[in-house]
Structure 1
Amino acid sequence: MSLPIVHHPAFDARFDEAHRFPMSKFSRLAQILIEDDLAGPNGFYIPAPALPGWLQLAHDARYVDQVLSHSVPREIEKAIGFAVDASVALRSRTAVGGTVLTARLAMAEGLACNTAGGSHHANASGGAGFSVFNDVAVASHVLLADGDVGRILVIDCDVHQGDGTARIFAGDARVFTLSLHGEKNYPPVKARSDLDVPLPDRMGDDAYLEALLPAMKTAFERARPDIVFYNAGVDPHEDDRLGRLSLSDEGLAERDRRVLAYVRERDRPVACVIGGGYSRDIDRLARRHSIVHRVAREFV
């Protein structure tokens, strides 16, 4: 069996190369997965853009309408970090659709990966931190609304706290949010996840991995999930522009391996999203993002 991987050309909204958000990494990641025969014999699974009704399960209807009509208020665009034009709106809807499809493939096959997703700073009322829509939150709500699952665990290993996801599911016992993140990194005001593991600057591989297992164990026991969403952000890497931690490529791979092994050994499906990663070297960054896809193939 090959690993199901979800991709859509619209994931890349074609930003100028000078933009501080490395948008072209999504296209390059897909190219690398094809070049290295990781995409499988039938290629990628191609998602449809998320329906407005899906988006409104996690976001206020007014904000959804603003994104779809390209009329997001300037202060929200400033918080997001870029203008929400037609290409960004399509990209955001398609990334959400990609995570919904990834989750459904994971439920069918046990494990699936998106080539986008992990926009975890978007909350119900608006976007922030390069996040327009919170794809994992929307996908979680879709699965719950459809009756496909009753309980969900979000394991968020992006270096930035998954504050939007935590706020969307605050008080919702069906979704357990675990966030391992840089203590002093963005966002400046943290939310309260169900379990937060704040990490000191410059933490390396061994200390990070030592913190990971007990957090997963506690979260899994408390969540009792039917499915796990895994945000495999690569911004904890030592060379990441926005990271402040010191993981190596090997450390990221071992992190992914331990997360996937823990969940799959307990016979739960895992839907992987790529999360954050920031570098001017797009090829190196995209290869870093491909680590989770490479590791995931060990479990199919």
Structure 2
Amino acid sequence: MLIAYDHIYVHPLPEGHRFPMDKYELIPLQLLREGVITPAHISSPAPLDEATILLTHDAAYWHKLKDQTLSDREQRRIGFTQSPALTQREITICQGTIDCALHALQHGVALNIAGGTHHAFADRGEGFCLLNDFAIAANYLLQQKKVKQALIIDLDVHQGNGSAALFAGKEQVFTFSMHGAGNYPFHKEVSDWDIPLQDGTDTSTYLQLLENALPILINRVQPDLVFYLSGVDILETDKFGRLKVTPQGCRQRDELVFSFLQQHGIPCAVAMGGGYSTNIKDIVNAHCNTFRAAAEIYD
């Protein structure tokens, strides 16, 4: 199992904006402490090259990120003040997701400590996302003929609007999003398959919907690779999620996905996505459960 992680994930934001970014530092420390992973599992990605970025994102937008010329309005839409460190962080995360996808194709599963930047569009960023790591990785693998068909399973509480728009009408990448109907983004794009959830959706309802959807997805798409966005903002403790999924239910979600894919021999590349519980221990434990589940199922 490969874990994409780099120290640049630890302090990517300007002073005063660190939480909840601390989770990127705490997750690997916890996993190492427990023995779920060893240092040999951890890989530090290099920054992504420009040619690969331009397979997905418009050149004009990329040059704004690179040259630090985003307008105030564009920065507000993203939610971050632009900085060279922030752009460097984003391209490192994206290369980490490519590395995970390549490793998963060979070994079954790989997980990015960060990633899941599914609100980024070809020509703009939104919702704390500058570049779309799953889209970049999928387009790279298709261009390199590493895969013919990819599937995005997006279980963050927020719809993957950027991913949906980027792959609209592109049959080689199927987008599936199960998300809060009344949550951000308030204007939803159209995924290949959306399952909107009402506020207060509980664990049993959530898991049943997912369990019903997985075989339909796999039979319909027949993917060579799945990109799995395992956001933990579905938790009942999340400040913004509005769902009522327990920590055990969140882990069962991961186990459902991994078990189903492993049984069908489908490689899986994972990105962490969101998590905004008041107590950072809840966030870290839920994310660590994703790694624990992957280690147990793909052992």
TM band (smaller chain): over 0.9
**Number of the residue aligned with 1:195:** 193
The answer as to whether partners of 2:233 and 2:241 remain within 8 angstroms in 1 is: yes
Task: Measure the CA separation in 1 of the matches of 2:236 and 2:249.
Answer: 10
Task: Measure the CA separation in 1 of the matches of 2:245 and 2:13.
Answer: 28
**Number of the residue aligned with 2:179:** 181
**Number of the residue aligned with 1:148:** 146
Give the drift of 1:16: 5.9
2:121 to 110, 120, 123: 123
Q: 1:75 to 1:16 in 2, by over 3 A?
A: closer
Give the drift of 1:281: 2.9
1:54 to 32, 52, 55: 52
2:222 to 221, 224, 237: 224
Q: Any unmatched runs of 5+ in structure 2?
A: none
Secondary structure of the corresponding residue to residue 110 of structure 2: strand
Give the drift of 1:13: 3.2
After TM superposition, list the pairs within 5 Å mapping 1:1-300 onto structure 2: 3-15=1-13, 18-19=16-17, 22-40=20-38, 42-299=40-297, 300=299
The answer as to whether partners of 1:182 and 1:244 remain within 8 angstroms in 2 is: yes
The answer as to whether partners of 2:114 and 2:272 remain within 8 angstroms in 1 is: yes
The answer as to whether partners of 2:180 and 2:198 remain within 8 angstroms in 1 is: yes
Say which is worse superposed, 222-231 or 8-17, in terms of deviation. 8-17
Q: How many correspondences in the alignment?
A: 298
The answer as to whether partners of 1:15 and 1:24 remain within 8 angstroms in 2 is: no
Task: Measure the CA separation in 1 of the matches of 2:171 and 2:66.
Answer: 30
Say which is worse superposed, 19-28 or 69-78, in terms of deviation. 19-28
Q: 1:165 to 1:21 in 2, by over 3 A?
A: farther
Task: Measure the CA separation in 1 of the matches of 2:256 and 2:47.
Answer: 32
Q: Deviations over 1:110-169 (max 9, x none)?
A: 111110110100011110001111000000000000000000000000000001000000
The answer as to whether partners of 1:154 and 1:177 remain within 8 angstroms in 2 is: yes
The answer as to whether partners of 1:263 and 1:269 remain within 8 angstroms in 2 is: yes
Q: Which amino acid aligns with 2:225?
A: I
Q: 1:66 to 1:21 in 2, by over 3 A?
A: farther
Q: Deviations over 1:160-215 (max 9, x none)?
A: 00010000000000000000000100000000000000001111110000100222
Task: Measure the CA separation in 2 of the matches of 1:291 and 1:255.
Answer: 10
Task: Measure the CA separation in 1 of the matches of 2:32 and 2:190.
Answer: 39
Q: 1:22 to 1:7 in 2, by over 3 A?
A: same
Q: TM-score, normalised by structure 1?
A: 0.96
Q: Which amino acid aligns with 1:176?
A: F
Q: Which amino acid aligns with 2:101?
A: A
Q: Which amino acid aligns with 2:127?
A: G
Q: Deviations over 1:205-256 (max 9, x none)?
A: 1000010022222222221100000000000000111100011110011000
Moved >4 Å (runs of 4+): none
Secondary structure of the corresponding residue to residue 268 of structure 1: coil
Q: Deviations over 1:44-81 (max 9, x none)?
A: 11111111111111111111111112222221111111
The answer as to whether partners of 2:4 and 2:100 remain within 8 angstroms in 1 is: yes
Secondary structure of the corresponding residue to residue 124 of structure 2: coil
Give the drift of 1:37: 1.7
Say which is worse superposed, 17-26 or 162-171, in terms of deviation. 17-26
Q: Which amino acid aligns with 1:124?
A: A
Give the drift of 1:84: 2.0
The answer as to whether partners of 1:235 and 1:276 remain within 8 angstroms in 2 is: yes
Q: TM-score, normalised by structure 2?
A: 0.96
Q: Any unmatched runs of 5+ in structure 1?
A: none
Identity %: 37
Q: 1:179 to 1:130 in 2, by over 3 A?
A: same
